[in-house]
Structure 1
């Protein structure tokens, strides 16, 4: 009897254990989807379909796209091409097809979408174990499906979402085949087999970390998740990489992984040290992995990490756009990239959903015209439908650089009507995508460039141009100091164009003050760009009834122990209309110099300036602009055009001019840029085509702690400015003699009109 009872007890225990295991298996199976889409979120979305216009519009567009793809069949070619080539673009298209098909399966409950995902993944799983490294050998970390691991990581970030969506559609055998032949080897390849790609601080590594993390979350694989969050342990972290496409210095013992990439490149303000173009690119992996972690590991409180830096970064990035929504081209940046990009659609949706439903983000989402097809996109769509929108008002703002906010920054001054936008750069180097342009600036009027930054030298994903990768002119021109609106000593780039040196230093903010609506000022210093030389630039956005539009005042001061030549280039768009000095054109075009970017500038004209205010006026998009500068005897104006030593026509043929001061130890460039008048091609009428400035003068201040200048208009009014260059405290009193009169004021600068 006891034996029978014991047997019955064992049977019951076994039955209970089996039931428990079966329950756990069923529960785990029901956990999918659980990354970007969740089971609860999907049910909520299904209830709302047909009643949320923006979401429904996006869904219909995606459905039409994927239905066409399904009709075209499965396309998984053997990899061979660089960016822009067929195989590259097809595999790139596949990662979107996978992700979108998975979403459609969940939201529409149509098995054809899950079958399509499975069919594509099976082809990759058959191919992947036999794939060698990509045949193109240009990358420091060659991929298998793509020419670089970066794009392999892109693929896995999206494919993980697709697999999560169809996980329960597949049986155990099908899942095992995909995981053993594709997903696990893929994650190991990106991480263990490529530590030089995976274990560092850079947007490349962020994608790699997130790729491994997303598949880790899908598979409930804690090892992969931890590898993504904290990097991998390796002894191979003490070598250097060259400063090229994707190359940067790796320090021994450096922290790695997603959290390190979230900690180090972001400042407390949300500025990303590589610049807005690459911040935009990195925002997708940052935000979707954070969303997945919030859904699966809420205990990490990832959106609260570093004082909510991810949420802040979205607002910072939106403020780094011009009036048209295009990102300011700081460092390596392709012009035209904007907040209409797919990465920013996702970032805005996620930031709105997890960041407290900030109504201003709805304004951007509405302009974007599409949403992410998940619960964040539904939240945005519902609140837009309920008209909870508030305008996203860009304002004058400073965004600090450096993980602690102590490595300079970006200063943006915006006029009261928001039409004029000034961007001054005084940041750290910006990792491998940084340019050698300390204290540079660019200037906009209604989204049009008045004075431009060149951006990068690259035609992204255009195969004929170096396979869509960076051109050699990115180093020889775009990164060099002469390519920017900043000061150059002895035709040599800042830090001699050396990455290691540039990475050590940053400029220092001196002043950022926008409390006066009519006189906004940003000022910064640079002490390391050239040996024994100190640079100090101050930019003022000045609004006064005497000027039709805001006046930009630019004061660049330089001090050195030795005699040097100083160039101040400015790159404009449009047609020269007039200048008030004699210019000579050379009998044949010759480059301005031989190296450091000067070899890419044609010298089109040369003028010797006198002791007076030199002026150049140009016309662009029916608006007149006049540059005025205080010139000294011996100064020159050099008219230039980009394009010398460019046999493959890789560079734009943009015009510019250089103000040159030779054989000087110290001095200053004091200049203004004035927007005025208009021209109508229909009525053939020019209005207010002449500058309102009569002259610019230096105000002799005997105290070396101060400098001053005055601007006299044609009406006879004099605008006087005094700047203390040694004390930027707002509560400090100042007193100096000016024109035999004692003037007193509080704070670092003084202005008077008389």
Structure 2
């Protein structure tokens, strides 16, 4: 068979050519690509810079070079304009001329350096995309041109990845995934099957110790979840799809898209299903707050899943949200479907529980979703999976945060209770070279930076990665059959010595409320007394409280370590009978109403203490502080009202929930009571039992009153 480009054969390119100048999603994507590449060719031309800091000029120029020639390769096939072909030839020739003589870059972290970049991960990416570009023009090159580019550039790179840094090639991790995909795609592009085999099956060719098949077999849980969280998960989709498409075209007998029960589809859907309603991905572990389903890898996945797996309406909704498709045959299939659809609703993957761990045995992520009549989605998420790191391979690969039973909530187009995400200014050279800032460890990873209970102002698992990797949570229940009443619950044990925790979240759609109530019952079991802090990280301006507090005129840190050193104490108040804190965020009001015991305190905090380089964002939070042995925090998050500043209008700035009380708690069940300003009372029972006992009928008596219900939880 004659040589064909890796990702797009000539017949497919001819079909895509028909979209030029159209207003379809594919047509618009082509127009954007043409404009961007033409501008880059005219303004930058051919430049091969030297070494530079991560995120610096040289780094960004090398990155832009490979991105632009990759796009130019597809444009050459689609438009048949030789200027794109010539640009790729000139760029690869320029690199091939200097690459053999280059010394290794200077690495300022623990990842090994490449010749172009400060770490081999970026070098892998350069070779992967450049190889895709090369395959698009291969059939136009003379033998002399091929020998120069292959012998003086690509073969040197392959040797670096599979020989010099062989110890990193076979690691089952997102870095290893990029390495094997880069070598495999390059091997296909230069007709080097021996390198392809190493990329597919590992250096030992055993399909287990390394290689692409081992990555697909070992990286993800049975539900497709990736231990490092959505940020690194979506990063893994690009090498997966680029290599999978190449394999499907060069070695179709491998049936890569069916491999391991179609794991490529399963893991893609797992990323899709974690997204907030606005498309952003939850900041679990080291994660950006802005990465969304508009990411290149997710766009590839959306297109290919629709093209190769199923014509799913939710994928149509995602593409409509993205307003983009992959410039590829799969993208055309999806673009055509969006073009012909008449009514596309906002995407919604529904309520879902995703297991973590290679066998689904290490906790997971629970997500509840509710859509109202205006197509506005409320989403609540709790996380209790394994620690998000691969410390066993390399200390630099520890992306885990210490925040078991973290809670995030989203509605009305914004994240209401949120996670900070990572401490990093990616590729911004003045900010620590674009690497993880020191505050990533001193604050962002610490438990207090998350919406979960902190014991005695310490961090879970003693902030010890090796210890944390031995711990994981457990699903207590997940019931989402009825949109009116959904619930999820998880537990963790000994994240703090001798302490067990269970968090149950109920999403209750009640007629008198504008939006579903998010009812949060956080149960703690301990034989000795501790201080328990429940941080609530939010955005916006405090509107009111139902307790007296003193504002601090001189701000001081809340503590000396474990993240508390970065939080200013800006005010506090005592409360014995519960607390209400209400704030305005965007055009919506939110109130958190919580139970309390004698001596409870609410502390208002603001991030930014001990931050001499202004690395951290300035964000508000408040902390519910209570003490005891066994203890239950019961809270209700109510969404209410509307504010339009341009019309100077505000409605329902005060919510309906007046108080929340823990009626009683024992090993059988917990009962909470919610009282409203309309004289209504709602009581909920939550089972604290496991297995079949959880599903049975529960009978408890608290304060002389008997409560009976069946199942994991119920409105009593």
Cα gap change, 1:437 to 1:640, in 2 (>3 Å):
same
Kindly state the Cα deviation for residue 47 of structure 1 after the two structures are TM-superposed: 6.1
SS of the equivalent of 1:562 reads coil
Alignment match, 2:538: 572
Kindly state the Cα deviation for residue 605 of structure 1 after the two structures are TM-superposed: 1.2
Q: Does 1:583 align with 2:549?
A: yes
Alignment match, 2:713: 749
Deviation readout 1:624-661 (Å, 9 max, x if unpaired): 21111111111211111111100011001101111112
Kindly state the Cα deviation for residue 480 of structure 1 after the two structures are TM-superposed: 0.6
Counting only pairs closer than 5 Å after superposition, residues 554-703 of structure 1 correspond to structure 2 as 554-610=520-576, 612-662=577-627, 664-700=628-664
The 10-residue stretch of structure 1 (60-69 or 208-217) with the greater mean CA deviation from structure 2:
60-69
Kindly state the Cα deviation for residue 77 of structure 1 after the two structures are TM-superposed: 2.9
Kindly state the Cα deviation for residue 399 of structure 1 after the two structures are TM-superposed: 1.6
Cα gap change, 1:255 to 1:86, in 2 (>3 Å):
same
Cα gap change, 1:349 to 1:85, in 2 (>3 Å):
same
Alignment match, 1:708: 671
Distance of 1:517 and 1:359 partners within structure 2: 20
The 10-residue stretch of structure 1 (705-714 or 472-481) with the greater mean CA deviation from structure 2:
705-714
Distance of 2:287 and 2:167 partners within structure 1: 24
The 10-residue stretch of structure 1 (525-534 or 345-354) with the greater mean CA deviation from structure 2:
345-354
Q: Does 1:195 align with 2:166?
A: yes
Counting only pairs closer than 5 Å after superposition, residues 235-274 of structure 1 correspond to structure 2 as 255-274=209-228
Counting only pairs closer than 5 Å after superposition, residues 328-347 of structure 1 correspond to structure 2 as 328-347=282-301
The 10-residue stretch of structure 1 (374-383 or 91-100) with the greater mean CA deviation from structure 2:
374-383
Kindly state the Cα deviation for residue 49 of structure 1 after the two structures are TM-superposed: 5.5
Distance of 1:218 and 1:688 partners within structure 2: 63
Cα gap change, 1:415 to 1:46, in 2 (>3 Å):
closer
Matched-pair contact (CA < 8 Å) for 2:19–2:26 = no
Kindly state the Cα deviation for residue 739 of structure 1 after the two structures are TM-superposed: 5.9
Matched-pair contact (CA < 8 Å) for 1:266–1:273 = yes
Kindly state the Cα deviation for residue 51 of structure 1 after the two structures are TM-superposed: 6.7
Alignment match, 2:384: 426
Counting only pairs closer than 5 Å after superposition, residues 68-217 of structure 1 correspond to structure 2 as 68-72=39-43, 74-217=45-188
Alignment match, 2:408: 442
Alignment match, 1:238: none
Given the alignment, which residue of 333, 338, 341 partners 1:384?
338
Distance of 1:208 and 1:86 partners within structure 2: 24
Matched-pair contact (CA < 8 Å) for 2:685–2:709 = no
Cα gap change, 1:695 to 1:373, in 2 (>3 Å):
closer
Distance of 2:483 and 2:298 partners within structure 1: 31
Cα gap change, 1:690 to 1:186, in 2 (>3 Å):
same
Matched-pair contact (CA < 8 Å) for 2:593–2:658 = no
Distance of 2:703 and 2:455 partners within structure 1: 34
Distance of 1:435 and 1:737 partners within structure 2: 39
Distance of 2:641 and 2:343 partners within structure 1: 36
Matched-pair contact (CA < 8 Å) for 1:52–1:382 = no
Matched-pair contact (CA < 8 Å) for 1:31–1:39 = no
TM-score of the superposed pair, with normalisation by structure 1: 0.89
Matched-pair contact (CA < 8 Å) for 1:79–1:146 = no
Kindly state the Cα deviation for residue 682 of structure 1 after the two structures are TM-superposed: 4.1
Kindly state the Cα deviation for residue 743 of structure 1 after the two structures are TM-superposed: 4.5
Kindly state the Cα deviation for residue 679 of structure 1 after the two structures are TM-superposed: 2.9
Distance of 2:671 and 2:657 partners within structure 1: 17
Distance of 2:340 and 2:583 partners within structure 1: 48
Distance of 2:316 and 2:512 partners within structure 1: 38
RMSD: 2.1
Q: Does 1:525 align with 2:491?
A: yes
Deviation readout 1:650-674 (Å, 9 max, x if unpaired): 0011011111123x22111111111
Alignment match, 1:360: 314
Alignment match, 1:727: 690
Matched-pair contact (CA < 8 Å) for 1:606–1:638 = yes
Kindly state the Cα deviation for residue 596 of structure 1 after the two structures are TM-superposed: 1.0
Kindly state the Cα deviation for residue 46 of structure 1 after the two structures are TM-superposed: 4.3
The 10-residue stretch of structure 1 (707-716 or 359-368) with the greater mean CA deviation from structure 2:
359-368
SS of the equivalent of 1:552 reads strand
Kindly state the Cα deviation for residue 52 of structure 1 after the two structures are TM-superposed: 7.9
Distance of 1:636 and 1:647 partners within structure 2: 29
Alignment match, 1:7: none
Cα gap change, 1:492 to 1:352, in 2 (>3 Å):
same
Kindly state the Cα deviation for residue 685 of structure 1 after the two structures are TM-superposed: 4.2
Deviation readout 1:326-357 (Å, 9 max, x if unpaired): 11111111112111222222121122222133
Kindly state the Cα deviation for residue 111 of structure 1 after the two structures are TM-superposed: 2.4
Matched-pair contact (CA < 8 Å) for 1:268–1:307 = no
The 10-residue stretch of structure 1 (212-221 or 388-397) with the greater mean CA deviation from structure 2:
388-397
Deviation readout 1:133-160 (Å, 9 max, x if unpaired): 1134324211211111111111111101
SS of the equivalent of 2:236 reads helix
Structure 1 residue runs of 5 or longer lacking an equivalent are: 1-26, 235-252
Matched-pair contact (CA < 8 Å) for 1:75–1:90 = no
Structure 2 residue runs of 5 or longer lacking an equivalent are: 390-397
Alignment match, 2:680: 717
The 10-residue stretch of structure 1 (105-114 or 320-329) with the greater mean CA deviation from structure 2:
105-114
Counting only pairs closer than 5 Å after superposition, residues 408-423 of structure 1 correspond to structure 2 as 408-417=363-372, 418-423=376-381
Matched-pair contact (CA < 8 Å) for 1:79–1:144 = no
The 10-residue stretch of structure 1 (626-635 or 42-51) with the greater mean CA deviation from structure 2:
42-51
Q: Which runs of 4+ in 1 moved over 4 A?
A: 46-52, 388-391, 738-743
Distance of 2:23 and 2:664 partners within structure 1: 66
Distance of 2:591 and 2:102 partners within structure 1: 60
Deviation readout 1:268-296 (Å, 9 max, x if unpaired): 22222211111111111111111111111
Matched-pair contact (CA < 8 Å) for 1:643–1:652 = yes
Distance of 2:97 and 2:423 partners within structure 1: 38
Alignment match, 2:357: 402
Distance of 1:133 and 1:233 partners within structure 2: 27
Cα gap change, 1:617 to 1:185, in 2 (>3 Å):
same
- Number of matched residues? 702
SS of the equivalent of 2:469 reads helix
Distance of 1:130 and 1:723 partners within structure 2: 68
Given the alignment, which residue of 257, 269, 279 partners 2:233?
279
Distance of 1:355 and 1:511 partners within structure 2: 31
Kindly state the Cα deviation for residue 476 of structure 1 after the two structures are TM-superposed: 0.7
TM-score of the superposed pair, with normalisation by structure 2: 0.94
Distance of 2:70 and 2:714 partners within structure 1: 58
Deviation readout 1:402-422 (Å, 9 max, x if unpaired): 222221111111123243211
Matched-pair contact (CA < 8 Å) for 1:579–1:617 = yes
Distance of 1:533 and 1:485 partners within structure 2: 18
SS of the equivalent of 1:394 reads coil
Distance of 2:58 and 2:339 partners within structure 1: 41
Cα gap change, 1:31 to 1:602, in 2 (>3 Å):
same
Deviation readout 1:89-121 (Å, 9 max, x if unpaired): 111111112112211222222322222111110
Kindly state the Cα deviation for residue 81 of structure 1 after the two structures are TM-superposed: 1.9
Distance of 2:313 and 2:647 partners within structure 1: 44
Matched-pair contact (CA < 8 Å) for 2:187–2:195 = yes
The structure with more radius of gyration: 1
Matched-pair contact (CA < 8 Å) for 1:360–1:389 = no
SS of the equivalent of 2:8 reads coil
The 10-residue stretch of structure 1 (713-722 or 726-735) with the greater mean CA deviation from structure 2:
726-735
